[in-house]
Structure 1
Amino acid sequence: MSSPTAASDREKVVSKLPGWLRQSLKVRAAQHGIEIQTAVEQGIRDWCSLASMPASIDTAGADSFSTFLPPGQWDEFRGIAAERRVSLIQGLAQSVQLWLDTNPAPDVVRPEITRRIVVCNQKGGVGKTAITAGLGEALAEDPNALYSVRVAKALTKALRASETRAGETAPSDDPLDIENLPGPGLQVLLVDFDPQCHLTNQLGATPLPMNGDSLTNHMAGDPKGDLRDLIVSIDEDTFGGRLHLLPACNDAFLLDVRLSAVRAREAALERALASLEGDYDVIIVDCPPSLGLSMDAAAYYGRRRDGERHGQSGALIVVQAEDSSADAYELLTSQIDDLRNDLQIDIDYLGIVVNLYDSRRGYIATSSLQGWVDIKDPRVVGLIGDLKEQKEAVRVKQPLLSYAPKSQQAVAMRALAREVL
């Protein structure tokens, strides 16, 4: 049942476990940030120390399971199992269950102040909506399940590679750069702040009617009901009721005109959404491609509040690796800087997301990416490839992370979520 391994000072143990128990062990170990072998070692040690036998575990359908234990522990375990007249499979299952019982899943870490992420760029077509949706989906994934996540070193590798060569779609798909991690499990509200209703349509929801209530009405001080009544849940089977959407309405085309008559108009979005913040950990605003009053209101909403740490809320800027995005970036940051100075407020930059990237497009793409990397503050926090799954998800009106949860784009969205967190 065991054999020495030259890779470490542990010995390899081969036994069996039921699939459901092995999966629970994988998830819980990841939640606590420890290796599976460490959890099994602790469970066996505690099981061997028990004064009485725990409840029997259903081991029907158990299949092969291997791990590495300190030298001698398996022999000790085997002897105690013989004394207690239980099979090694039953004893191992009881040990694993004992560890699970004594190491419950940690609570989801929730922010004291609702985090507000404003996804923006006055240039259309850069993919703000896709980033808004993907980020929100990644933040709302199940904390009791494991998902493929591209770790930070992969982003660094892709960025460095852009300096030296073209000809390979980034990011790299090296499996060594992937980790399986629990979902953040946050309560997320996506706000479609664009009169074109792209976010609403892409997620399969229905835009609000022009003659009904809307976010625009609430911002203009003319509400027709409770804003909470307009919110819809997105794909409850996948996100467990943690991902919600406030749909857009075409009346937002008139928002700047209506805001011009509102007092303290830069705070209009904050006033409208204030009653919802208690229900959510994160609110993500998909901004229109505009530098008008609506963008002022969005940027103000993302400002750092009293008692809020730097980088908890702010502006997430979506760009592409091409020249026109750089021009739009300058205009946007100038507007935000003017707002900072005029109102004496702090608006943090959460980072730059380079979207729809494909290094096969050659020098323009790779040199532009390097230009974004050289900015340093804000730094590049996401690199999303131009691949087919996002377009397919939009076509079928499904969230990307439920339509293609193992795609490179989904993996990169999860990495972005962890960078922003």
Structure 2
Amino acid sequence: MTSPASPNDREKVVSKLPGWLRQDLKVRAAQKGIEIQAAVEQGIQDWCNLASATAGVDTSGADSFSTFLPEGQWDEFKRIASDRRVSLIQGLAQSVQLWLDTHPAPDVERPAITRRIVVCNQKGGVGKTAITAGTGEALAENPSRLYPVRIAKQLAAASDALDSPLDTEDLPGLGLRVLLVDFDPQCHLTNQLGGTPLPMNGDSLTNHMAGDPKGDLRDLIVSVDDEHFAGRLHLLPACNDAFLLDVRLSAVRAREAALERALAPLEPHYDVILVDCPPSLGLSMDAAAYYGRRRDGEKPGQSGALIVVQAEDSSADAYELLTTQIDDLRGDLQIDIDYLGIVVNLYDSRRGYIATSSLQGWVDIKDPKVVGLIGDLKEQKEAVRVKQPLLSYAPKSQQAVGMRALAREIS
């Protein structure tokens, strides 16, 4: 964040502001990437330069507010407030409101091409579903509210980072329109978010991929209703018929593009689509990897594969199999499939040498790099039990602040 005056040139001033105005100031300053004191300084300067006071602001319930201003500015402000016959509290409130009015909230930056994030690893139990949900939730949070986000650290020296308090920063939500696609016949993502799996005798993503749709895929989408997301987070539920997907895809022409053909009509409505992949290396995984390929005009690293692992040996074996499949697909079809990174999930350094050395092994890979480290803590399990999104159930938990850091790392 920036400030026009150095700390040595400033003096502390104490006044009062109503809580709602102080909160609006805090959010807007974070949205603009500047310090609160810089915003107040600019607001007071502009207010003093006006020909007269602006419209009155409701200051009922105002309580203590302090900041640092350039030397002499507060004295000049008090003189002008006296000339205009307004109280210091009212003058300060008008100054802050003036700054808010002249610095509107920035628009959410939306990608030109819908981003497609394929969350994968054919090894079951690594937590792909939790990472899919948590990342999607972090991408969809309210841009007009502040949330604690873990400050990035060098993971190479952070094997015990999750055992101590995390350094966090309050940042606005990203405000993107997100679709979570449950591509796993076990329906974990659907169930965890309180959805209902689709009936076997109805329509499903599998039917659309197999070229046998029974309706409009958009009619199957449900909203994850929560004030944190305000209609920006949606779910395409799974159906158990996905167990048959590989068999059905074997009879489909250009089967690698089957998922893309099915989801293409949905893309104009979303900024990001995350696909929770099944624990499989079959044709369905080929289709998911192809869906995440880099398209014409798309920048590297916008779409691709996000690989979820654990800090233990079997994840390394599964990682080799998965990357071999993706690399083979790249070569066979002459396409670019970017690796968005590795997420080490369910980490607990108390498990000893196996966990800490495995984490170091993932960090040492470098390409793809580790982009997230999520601890094995109770809040995620509790959120699953009550069928609520983690980031609304426990928004200040270590797992939640880690999910927000992950979402920003791959944005």
Instruction: Give TM-score, length-normalised by structure 1.
Output: 0.95
**Whole-angstrom distance in 1 between the partners of 2:203 and 2:328:** 32
Aligned letter for 2:30? A
3-state SS in 2 of match to 1:263:
coil
- Give the CA deviation at 1:236: 3.3
Q: 1:3 maps to what in 2?
A: none
- Give the CA deviation at 1:150: 0.4
Kept after mapping to 2: 8 A contact 1:169/1:385: no
Q: 1:108-187 residue pairs with structure 2 within 5 A?
A: 108-153=108-153, 156=154, 158-162=155-159, 168=160, 170=162, 172-174=164-166, 177-187=167-177
3-state SS in 2 of match to 1:92:
helix
Kept after mapping to 2: 8 A contact 1:145/1:183: yes
Kept after mapping to 1: 8 A contact 2:304/2:339: yes
- Give the CA deviation at 1:7: 5.8
Q: 1:253 maps to what in 2?
A: 243
Identity among equivalent positions (%) equals 85
Q: C-alpha offsets along residues 66-99 of structure 1, whole Å, 9 cap, x if unaligned?
A: 0000000000000000000000000000000000
Q: 2:397 maps to what in 1?
A: 407
Q: C-alpha offsets along residues 96-127 of structure 1, whole Å, 9 cap, x if unaligned?
A: 00000000000000000000000000100000
Q: 1:7-406 residue pairs with structure 2 within 5 A?
A: 8-153=8-153, 156=154, 158-162=155-159, 168=160, 170=162, 172-174=164-166, 177-406=167-396
**Whole-angstrom distance in 1 between the partners of 2:397 and 2:319:** 29
Aligned letter for 1:102? T
3-state SS in 1 of match to 2:263:
helix
- Give the CA deviation at 1:169: 6.4
Aligned letter for 2:42? Q
**Whole-angstrom distance in 1 between the partners of 2:307 and 2:71:** 53
**Whole-angstrom distance in 1 between the partners of 2:163 and 2:16:** 37
Spell out structure 1 runs of 4+ moving beyond 4 A. none
Kept after mapping to 2: 8 A contact 1:169/1:357: no
Q: C-alpha offsets along residues 346-388 of structure 1, whole Å, 9 cap, x if unaligned?
A: 0000000000000011100000000000000000000000000
Aligned letter for 2:39? A
Kept after mapping to 2: 8 A contact 1:169/1:360: no
**Whole-angstrom distance in 1 between the partners of 2:13 and 2:181:** 51
When residues 309 and 93 of structure 1 are mapped into structure 2, their CA distance, relative to the original with a 3 A threshold, is: same
Q: Which runs of 5+ in 2 are unaligned?
A: 1-5
Aligned letter for 1:170? L
**Whole-angstrom distance in 1 between the partners of 2:28 and 2:132:** 29
- Give the CA deviation at 1:34: 0.2
3-state SS in 2 of match to 1:236:
coil
> How many positions carry a matched residue from both structures?
406
Q: C-alpha offsets along residues 178-215 of structure 1, whole Å, 9 cap, x if unaligned?
A: 10000000000000000000000000000000000000
Kept after mapping to 2: 8 A contact 1:219/1:269: yes
Kept after mapping to 1: 8 A contact 2:52/2:84: no
Kept after mapping to 1: 8 A contact 2:374/2:402: yes
- Give the CA deviation at 1:53: 2.0
Instruction: Give TM-score, length-normalised by structure 2.
Output: 0.98
3-state SS in 1 of match to 2:228:
helix
Kept after mapping to 1: 8 A contact 2:293/2:303: yes
